[in-house]
């Protein structure tokens, strides 16, 4: 039997790709964002938000003006990891981003809600328009590097980000247990179809290094990231260990206190 097109979908699939320019966000006067990287995964819970914040910390510590956009509207976790919860200043026409102690500017829907425990019950198109507003209406000023922490998967928000924002590259995050090939493939294929270059893959929670013996244990199974990278002709940017200290820093909003941020080397080698 011939494959049936889902009801409501045009036969030419992602029609929106053809009209890419129609969705472009306009640059706000006074903003100059030089490079934007989206931090993406197929599956949830692999560490995108932690890694987005660590990337922001890395460029910030290298003295680049750094911004971070929390594009996970229904599951925002950036304020918690960065330890800043104050509502960003807002007027009728602009939003002032929040700023960490170290000077990272960021925006998250949780900074704009009266009660950050309230769920966001908005449908896809509205979620997308919030992300667009994060670009068009936030007074970012000069930013050398902006990271976009994405929700997992290939839904409305990633589609809006890819179509609307000037993303220079995608950083794909996986974990050994998250490497269900098909799910990662969907995220990679989406980026390819949208013509956004993938800088490479970071494998998070790759192994645990025993502090007593120094031996590496592959708690979540053997890594398949090299195979994946080869299959899609991508670079492996790095493998990060399972680190109880990192969980602690993220859970307590102290990520900027991280010692020897392992992403500094990745930034120097692949992002600058
Ligand atoms: N390398 C690591 N070692 C130990 N804990 C980690 C590591 N990376 C992330 N975590 C922890 O794993 C949990 C999930 O991480 P995080 O929220 O960054 O994932 P995510 O991919 O953004 O999730 P979601 O898809 O829900 O947005 C957090 O509690 C975080 O502190
Ligand atoms: Mg997240």
pLDDT, tens digit (0-9, with 9 covering 90-100), for 57-98? 999 999 999 999 999 999 999 999 999 988 778 777 788 999
Contact 178, 228 (CB under 8 A): no
Q: For the chain, give the percent of residues with pLDDT over 90.
A: 65
Token readout for 207 is: 């192994």
Counting atoms of ligand 1 from 1, which one is nearest the CA of 43? 25
Neighbours of ion ligand 2 (CB under 5 A): 48-49, 72, 77
Please name which ligand lies nearest the alpha carbon of 155.
1
Phi, psi of 47 (to 5 degrees): 115, 20
How far, in Å, is the centroid of ligand 2 from the Cα of 236? 21
**Residue 9: which pLDDT band, with cuts at 50, 70 and 90?**
very low
The verdict on domain 38-270 having CATH code 3.40.50.2300 is no
Q: What residue owns the CA closest to ligand 1's atom 29?
A: 247
Mean pLDDT of 98-102: 96
Q: Is the pTM of this model over 0.75?
A: yes
The answer, yes or no, to whether any atom of ligand 1 lies below 6 A from the CB of 205, is yes
Contact 36, 66 (CB under 8 A): no
The answer, yes or no, to whether any atom of ligand 1 lies below 6 A from the CB of 247, is yes
The answer, yes or no, to whether any atom of ligand 1 lies below 6 A from the CB of 242, is yes
Domain boundaries, the chain: 38-270
Give the per-residue pLDDT at 179.
57
**Residue 143: which pLDDT band, with cuts at 50, 70 and 90?**
very high
How far, in Å, is the centroid of ligand 2 from the Cα of 264? 20
Please name which of 132, 184, 196 lies closest in space to residue 107, comparing C-alpha atoms.
132
Dist. CA 187–CA 154, nearest whole Å: 6
Token readout for 246 is: 């990192």
Q: What residue owns the CA closest to ligand 1's atom 25?
A: 44
How far, in Å, is the centroid of ligand 2 from the Cα of 32? 26
How far, in Å, is the centroid of ligand 1 from the Cα of 243? 11
Contacts of 116 (CB under 8 A, 6+ apart): 79, 85, 110
| Residue 107 pLDDT greater than 60, yes or no | yes
């Amino acid at each position: 039997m011939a494959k049936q097109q889902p009801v409501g979908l045009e036969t030419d699939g992602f029609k929106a790709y053809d009209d890419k320019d129609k969705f472009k966000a306009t640059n706000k006067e006074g903003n100059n964002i030089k490079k934007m990287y989206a931090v993406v995964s197929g599956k949830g819970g692999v560490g995108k938000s932690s890694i987005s914040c660590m990337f922001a910390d890395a460029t910030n510590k290298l003295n680049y003006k750094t911004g971070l956009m929390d594009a996970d509207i229904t599951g925002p976790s950036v304020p918690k990891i960065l330890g800043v919860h104050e509502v960003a200043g807002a007027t009728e026409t602009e939003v002032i981003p929040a700023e960490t102690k170290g000077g990272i500017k960021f925006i998250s829907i949780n900074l704009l809600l009266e009660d950050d425990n309230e769920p966001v019950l908005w449908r896809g198109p509205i979620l997308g328009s919030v992300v667009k507003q994060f670009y068009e209406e936030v007074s970012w000023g000069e930013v050398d590097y902006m990271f976009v922490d994405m929700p997992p998967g290939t839904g409305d928000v990633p589609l809006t980000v890819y179509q609307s924002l000037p993303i220079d590259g995608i950083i794909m995050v996986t974990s050994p247990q998250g490497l269900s090939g098909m799910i990662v493939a969907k995220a990679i294929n989406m980026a390819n179809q949208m013509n956004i270059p993938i800088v490479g893959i970071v494998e998070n929670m790759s192994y645990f290094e025993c502090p007593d013996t120094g031996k590496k244990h592959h708690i979540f199974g053997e890594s398949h990231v090299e195979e994946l990278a080869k299959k899609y002709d991508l670079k492996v940017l790095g493998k990060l260990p399972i680190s109880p200290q990192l969980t602690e820093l993220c859970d307590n909003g102290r990520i900027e206190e991280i010692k020897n941020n392992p992403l500094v080397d990745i930034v120097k080698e692949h992002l600058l």
